[in-house]
Amino acid sequence: MLAALALIGTSPAVVTEFVDYIEKREKITTLRIVATRADQVVSGALLAAEAVRYRYPWIKASVDTLPLSDVTNEDENYVFMEELVNVIKSIKSSDAERIYLCLAGGRKEMAVAAVLVAQIMGLNAVYHVLSHNIRKANVELERIRDKIKELASSKDPGEYYARNAELFEKVMYPSPDTYNVIKIPILPYPRETLDTLRNIMSNEAPQERALSRELLDKLVEAGIVTRCCGKILVTEEGLRFYRHVLEHV
């Protein structure tokens, strides 16, 4: 079973372009779209889900709405990371054998944070979608913005999409030669390393010997821990990372 996970912003077509690209090579069984609760983002996510269901009815598409209207500061970014970890855990609990992430939607800091989460959670692949003419794509999108709002408020979004499929499909499934799908290299973190880090960060003052010298030096340089009297002290930044991410892995 292959599950697709996609971040979404105000340009919903990146989700369907990603799905279309993967479906030409492998069969997706599940799609989870992660959206902030901003109205335009949610309506676009609902459109993307219906567009996938319409063209690929065997894909179980759903939207996970973050408890955030936007991600614009460190606190919100940590909440986003925690929520993304939980979505991935939910996907894994459904017996998905592989998970592919598309980070083309949302803000840049969300994409960067999502790559780190993908590596920590052992995802199998990460992709980005790049439009050749973003200005033209945005013009086409704005032409149907009212229809997108109507779909989001419809009692039967699937029926509404089907009734307006010709209009929606032109925007949601442009010709593949108008965009590139780029695979981003990732290096999954070994489970042993993650377990060690989690144990260190949940301990009040572990001994320095609990970590290799190289790893300890890197954590100090990153501001995650400090050294004091032969013991490791987790910094405030390290505690935030533990509480929002590592504790839930």
- Return the minimum-mean-pLDDT range out of 92-106, 178-192, 211-225: 211-225
**What does the pLDDT look like over 150-181, one tens digit per residue?**
999 999 999 999 999 999 999 999 999 999 99
Q: Which helix (H) or strand (E) holds 184?
A: strand 179-184
Domains of the chain, residue spans: 2-184, 191-248
Q: SS3 for 63? A: strand
Quote the tokens at residue 75. Answer: 């606190």
3.40.50.11700, 1.10.1060.10, 3.40.50.1820, 3.40.50.300: CATH of 2-184: 3.40.50.11700
Cβ atoms of residues 239 and 228 within 8 Å? no
Residue 230 has pLDDT above 90, yes or no: no
User: Which 8-state DSSP code applies to residue 21?
Assistant: H
- Return the minimum-mean-pLDDT range out of 90-94, 125-129, 189-193: 189-193
Cα–Cα distance measured from residue 244 to residue 116, given in angstroms and rounded to the nearest whole number: 13
Cβ atoms of residues 22 and 100 within 8 Å? yes
Cβ atoms of residues 55 and 87 within 8 Å? no
Percent of the chain at pLDDT > 70 equals 99
Looking up tokens 């390393």, which residue turns up? Answer: 193
Residue 67 has pLDDT above 70, yes or no: yes
Residues 6+ apart with CB under 8 A from 236: none
Cβ atoms of residues 223 and 235 within 8 Å? yes
